[in-house]
Amino acid sequence: MSWKHLFSRSLAGNPDRLHFAAHSHHLWPDASYAGHLAAWQDAAVLADHKWDKIMGPVWSEAQQHVADELKLPDPSTLCFAPNTHDFIVRLLSAIPARPVRVLATDGEFHSFRRQMARWVEAGDVVLETVAPEALLETARSGVFDLIFFSHVLFNSGTIISVLDELAALAHPEGPWVVIDGYHGFMAIETDLSQIADRVFYLSGGYKYAMAGEGACFLHAPPGFAERPAVTGWYAAFDDLALPPGDVGYAPDGRRFLGSTFDPSGLYRFNAVQNMLAAEGLTTAVISDHVAALQTQFMEDAPFAGFELLNSLGAPQHARFLAFRGEIASVLHDRLAEQNVVTDVRGDVLRIGFGLYQDRDDVARLLKIIEQLA
């Protein structure tokens, strides 16, 4: 089955390109174009009053889409922001202890690692990092204010499956457990219904939700982090009548809001979600499509001398294959010369698969790799 017709604009933009980096920058489906135009049209027609629609039906629709995907019992626990970094800063600002004691894996994404390193340098954070397989034991045996980990690690595709066990450690007074779902949301089926009252979960629309930039979100459990110290005036939408000097907060996930933002990402997110629903494209269906392409790719044993870090065969798998090898960067560059888009992180070459690829694309990629060998 081919779903290329849903991506006609992106594919036509560079028809000879083989884009195998859906895990890095997912191509935008045509529905996102319609959503983007709808944002512009509302701005033109509604002008000042567009925010009534954005913070009303557009916002609530996006919340419901996320809640449905993650099996969250209450969509109002969700807040949106331009990026997940905003949420990390606000989360840490809500922890009263200084320095903040943070536990994380040694495979977290650059933005988290950089921010933590700077906070450590400034004396605001004491950071301990461990291998993913040691995370639960360390979390149980140590004393931390914040436990932060990726559901799917960006560099290796490793999936952390002990969500329930880590959630059991969370308390409003600490530690707080934060799941970075950027490579998990809409890539692997995720049910947070039993732990939604204890964990934070953040992700965004840039990758597998296919919505592009500006549609990141945070699920914030009630009773946790009720007054972030880093805050914008949108977080007081329910308290704008407070006397001057009083800092009020929305009673739900909106307590993590900042200030004025570009809402077009939410329009694109909603449009893509509605397109997927109309086509019957659930996360499970897309994952099956991707798994078939990954299997086809691996049947040809394409990279001699490389180690596949996330082997096939597990019930759940990342949407990319991570190959470690000394010439990862060289191979990435040589593929780019053939108009093949992949992704490299140090000595790891990542090949990402998505809905806009079919078996012919994989066969063509394998032929190019064979010619480069």
Residue where a domain terminates, one of 228, 249, 275: 275
Please check whether residues 219 and 332 belong to one and the same domain: no
Please check whether residues 27 and 106 belong to one and the same domain: no
Reported as a single tens digit per residue, the pLDDT across 86-109 is 999 999 999 999 999 999 999 999
Please check whether residues 226 and 360 belong to one and the same domain: no
CATH number for 261: 3.40.640.10
Please check whether residues 199 and 240 belong to one and the same domain: yes
Please check whether residues 327 and 251 belong to one and the same domain: no
Please check whether residues 121 and 93 belong to one and the same domain: yes
CATH number for 297: 3.90.1150.10
Please check whether residues 156 and 296 belong to one and the same domain: no
- What is the domain range of residue 224? 39-275
Instruction: Report how many domains make up the chain.
Output: 2
Provide the whole-model pTM: 0.95
For the cut 60, the answer to whether the pLDDT of residue 233 exceeds it is yes
Yes or no: say if 4 and 238 are a contact pair by the CB < 8 Å rule: no
Residue where a domain terminates, one of 241, 275, 309: 275
Please check whether residues 210 and 104 belong to one and the same domain: yes
Reported as a single tens digit per residue, the pLDDT across 156-187 is 999 999 999 999 999 999 999 999 999 999 99
For the cut 80, the answer to whether the pLDDT of residue 73 exceeds it is yes
Reported as a single tens digit per residue, the pLDDT across 110-148 is 889 999 999 999 999 999 999 999 999 999 998 999 999
pLDDT for residue 246: 79
Please check whether residues 110 and 177 belong to one and the same domain: yes
